[in-house]
Structure 1
Amino acid sequence: MSASVAALKSHAVIVGAGPVGAVAALLLARHGIRVTLLERNSALVSASRASTFHPSTLDLLRSLGIDLAGHRAATTVTSLQWRNRDGEVLAELDYRLLIGLTSHPFRIHLDQQVLLDRLAELIADEPGVDLVCDTEVIALDAARAVVTAVSADGLRQTLKGDVIVGCDGSHSLIRQQAGLQLSVLPYPTVALRAYVETNLSALLPGSAPRPLSNLCYFRGGGDGVSVLRMGNVTRLIVRSSAHRADERRVAEAVAKATPWSLDSIAVQRIDSYRLGRGVVDSYLSDLGPVLVIGDAAHVTSTSGGMNMNSGIHDAFALMPALAGRLRGGADLLGVAHIAEERRRYMLHDVIPRTERVVRGLQDLAGPSLVTDLHGLAPLIANRAAHRNFLIEASLLDAPLAGLESITK
């Protein structure tokens, strides 16, 4: 149970009430820190289409009283499949190999807004968190740990904290004004995402094994399509050199890599988004008591659904240590060590993992996209390699404060 508000002497100002900022606020409050959580929108709303929650993240969120796996709209993924254009299964990795390492030996696909709605409920019941919406931060004085914010009605105010936590997205003003550098290297491809309601499993050839996994990677004809099921909608994700929603490119990839044609699939709409990767040079500012986490600290390819999950892990890794520092029971070096461990993990482990499932598709090779299924055969034949792939894909080796990994 949280300490009484009167007993909360240290004060943290968190900028950005997305999933990472809201989780960070709850963690700090439950560790005895008073929190002001600033959000420029009128409520906790998501513009992101992030939808993947990994086993490690589901475990962590449950510790806050959030059970996403039990939500009626959650789509459970019990295996990862790779198939060829005839529908033949090239490899299938079974999440049941994670039993004993996690309470959730599966991943789920669920709209990020569901998490935000639950976080809003918890924050409303948490006396240690003051959520201030319709308020945009326009300046930071890192040395004094002061932010200047403007409300929707034009009222300007300054807020001082013992620490400022930037959770304000990939274009983070807090990061920029704290003197932290994030260089994002763009991939030469963009992602095209087609939304369909057609039951694709029913359209598999009669010789193709069923069922179709709720996450399946089709490869064939030098091309690839990722098929992600979410509720009643399936997303077909294709890499393209064109920076626009291009139905012709989606049709080409579907024809080359899958047993279907776009003519037989009812496409609702197609959108596109740029892809890039990068990690901040430091989570902690040298100018004052300021740190950044989540999208403000790292950008990854959307492959594997790593970035939001990693941001939530940032909060779980750093907020308990930060609370200890603010209460005087821990030194700054401990926080800095955890922050650097997280930074290195993102740079050297997470980003390469986001690239491996789309190797040959993420980058252009010559005039066309190519398919690379390197490494699948050993995964099929070797149970230990199979299990380790799923551990890494599930972020179950993620470093947390005071622990070597989530699994220990």
Structure 2
Amino acid sequence: MTERTSCVVVGGGPAGMVTGLLLARAGVEVTVLEKHPDFLRDFRGDTVHPSTLTLLDELGLGEKFHALPHSEVTAAGFPTEDGGMMKLADLSRLDVPHPYIAMVPQWDFLDLLAESAMKEPTFTLRMSTEMTGLLRERGRVAGVRYRSGGTDGELRADLVIAADGRWSLARREAALEPKEYDCPFDAWWFRISRGENEGDGMLTPRMRNRRFAVPLPRQGYFQVAYLSPKGEDLRAQGLEAFRENVVEACPEFADRMDELATMDDVKFLDVRLNRLHTWHREGLLCIGDAAHAMSPVGGVGINLAVQDAVAAATLLADPLRRGGVTGAELAKVRSRRLLPTMLVQGLQRLLHRTVMRPVMAGKRNGPPPAMIALLGRFPRLTVIPARLLGIGFRPEHAPGFARRAQEPA
């Protein structure tokens, strides 16, 4: 069976859903394909940064978003070797409507976007529908092959947007290969209970005796990333060794590590940092992790993916309404988003080199002493990393065609 739409978006994550919503509000016929039956995946990126919160306000979804169960991170800091705490980024100093990072289950965020998008007559969301290949015609991508419910089909389109993540099949089918950058660690995610006022509002990585852990405060629990040297198989070392490593970094968790019953309670993330040189082929555009996988440092992956989506919809809505998109028009998306992506990845690589690698090598138990001294002497400087973390280098705003009045919660 062959069908047709103007734009098919592969992947129903934040990048894909924001793209679909904005294009539909522009009157573009758009279909989003999501291979899973729902959005319920644990340990996905759950951070929604101030710039994305502003975007949601512009889309008329701010009130509905803030009605979702969430926690708020207003600052990030590091423990110092003398037992103190050094605030690195003070988001409360930002002059924005929402000066914090909202921690919200990604499935709630995606459900909110899907609910709003499905009000648009030109929007279609197909769950349990997996792209299996690309259609080509006269030297350009002309749509996708898909499988749904055991049935194969074809969906022809003027444009395919690959928003299917760091292991993107659409990217691979288009013979686009990202350049990989060195990343010294992998992440092991788990959740553990949290006291009522424990860790409120502060993101505090823990570094001690070669161990590195990042507890993210959530409602009723911590979502913890334990970082290990790249390629190290912690499963092979066993559950008890893993518990001991976590307690070495986070002694306050010693009384609750039995909440981890097996290593199946720990989810592995193969951390990648990469970027495509070219983000498009004729008829296809990669955005989000499909164009540039980000390190989990700063939790900025969702923010960058959403910014890509806004830029793509803003630049491509008119060409899609006219009935076709040229390669030159697709290249404009990369041109607009490349510098912010490179700068963020450059900062992440700097932190890998100056913080993560020395800590895991046993050379330090915290950030560089020069950084501690500078921020200790000039605490107002904490607004600079806060702005880089919370807003980024080129925040995108909703185009006029996508803006709506606030929907009541």
The whole-number CA distance in structure 2 between the counterparts of 1:132 and 1:214 is 38
Q: Does structure 2 conserve the Cα–Cα contact (< 8 Å) formed by 1:14 and 1:21? A: yes
Provide the TM-score with structure 2 as the length reference: 0.82
Q: Say whether residues 1:153 and 2:150 are aligned partners.
A: yes
- State whether residues 223 and 369 of structure 1, in contact with CA within 8 Å, keep that contact through their aligned partners in structure 2: no
Task: Report Cα offsets for 1:328-358 as digits up to 9, x if no partner.
Answer: 4997645423313313422x21123334556
CA contact (8 A) 1:224 1:361 kept: no
Aligned equivalent of 2:302: 308
Q: Helix, strand or coil for the counterpart of 2:97? A: coil
Structure number with the higher helix fraction is: 2
Match of 2:105 in 1: 111
Matches within 5 A, 1:210-249: 213-221=201-209, 223-241=211-229, 242-245=232-235, 247-249=240-242
Partner of 1:24: 19
2:170 corresponding residue in structure 1: 174
Q: Relative to structure 1, is the Cα distance of residues 291 and 298 closer, same or farther in structure 2, using a 3 angstrom cutoff?
A: same
* Percent pairwise identity: 25
Aligned equivalents of 1:173, 1:325: Cα separation in 2: 25
- CA-based RMSD: 3.1
Moved more, 304-313 or 377-386: 377-386
Q: Distance in 2 between matches of 1:151 and 1:41?
A: 10
- Rounded to whole Å, the distance in 2 between the matches of 1:380 and 1:264 is 34
Q: Does 1:139 align with 2:133?
A: yes
* Residue 251 (str. 1) matches residue 248 (str. 2): no
Name the amino acid aligned to 1:233: Y
The whole-number CA distance in structure 1 between the counterparts of 2:6 and 2:220 is 44
Aligned counterpart for 1:41 among listed residues 36, 43, 54: 36
Counterpart amino acid of residue 132 in structure 2: I
Three-state SS of the structure 2 residue aligned to 1:299 is coil
Task: Find the counterpart in structure 2 of residue 338 from structure 1.
Answer: 333
Give 1:325 shift.
Answer: 2.3
2:14 & 2:159 partners in 1: Cα distance? 19
1:55 pairs with 2:43 = no
Displacement of 1:280: 1.4
Give the equivalent residue in structure 2 for 1:324.
318
- Looking at structure 1, the residues matched to 41 and 296 of structure 2 have their Cα atoms a distance apart, in angstroms, of 16
Contact 2:217 2:223 in 1 (8 A): yes
Query: Partner residue of 2:252?
Result: 260
Number of the residue aligned with 2:403 = none
* 8 Å Cα contact 1:192/1:237 also seen in 2: yes
Which secondary structure does the structure 1 equivalent of 2:273 belong to?
strand
Give the match for residue 354 of structure 1: 348
Moved more, 305-314 or 217-226: 217-226
Change (3 A) 1:87 1:127: farther
What is the Cα deviation at residue 119 of structure 1?
1.7
Give secondary structure in 2 for the equivalent of 1:93. Answer: strand
Using the size of structure 1 for normalisation, the TM-score is 0.82
Secondary structure at 1:91's aligned position in 2? strand
Matched to 1:236, the amino acid is V
- Distance (whole Å) between structure 2 residues aligned to residue 337 and residue 111 of structure 1: 32
Query: AA paired with 1:147?
Result: V
| Helix, strand or coil at the partner of 1:150 | strand
For residues 232 and 353 of structure 1, do their structure 2 counterparts lie closer, same or farther at Cα, with a shift above 3 Å needed?
Answer: farther
In the alignment, the residues of structure 2 paired with residue 167 and residue 48 of structure 1 have an alpha-carbon distance, to the nearest angstrom, of: 18
C-alpha spacing 1:71/1:215, structure 2 compared with 1 (3 Å) = farther
In the alignment, residue 215 of structure 1 is paired with which amino acid? Answer: L
Q: Give 5+ residue unaligned stretches, structure 1.
A: 1-8, 203-210, 404-408
By relative contact order (CA 8 Å, sep 6+), the higher-ranking structure is: 2
Q: Is the 8 A contact 2:211 2:360 kept in 1?
A: no
Report whether the alignment pairs 1:271 with 2:259: no
Is residue 10–residue 163 contact of structure 2 (8 Å, CA) maintained in 1?
A: yes
Q: Cα gap change, 1:394/1:247 in structure 2, threshold over 3 Å: closer, same or farther?
A: farther
User: What amino acid is the match of 1:251?
Assistant: E
Q: One-letter code of the match for 2:234?
A: R
What letter matches 1:338 in structure 2?
Answer: V
Asked if 1 retains the 8 angstrom alpha-carbon contact of 2:80 and 2:86, the reply is yes
Please identify, of 389-398 and 78-87, the stretch whose mean Cα deviation from structure 2 is larger: 78-87
| 1:396 has 2:396 as partner | no
Q: Which residue of 2 aligns with 1:299?
A: 293
Specify the alignment match of 1:11 in structure 2. 6
Give the paired residue count: 380
- Contact (CA 8 Å) 2:79, 2:366: kept in 1 or not? no
Cα gap change, 1:323/1:264 in structure 2, threshold over 3 Å: closer, same or farther?
Answer: closer
Give the secondary-structure state (helix, strand or coil) at the position aligned to 1:161: strand
The one-letter code matched in structure 2 to 1:13 is V
Q: Report Cα offsets for 1:170-195 as digits up to 9, x if no partner.
A: 22121112232124346342223342
Secondary structure of the equivalent of 1:345?
Answer: helix
* Matches of 1:17 and 1:109, distance apart in 2: 19
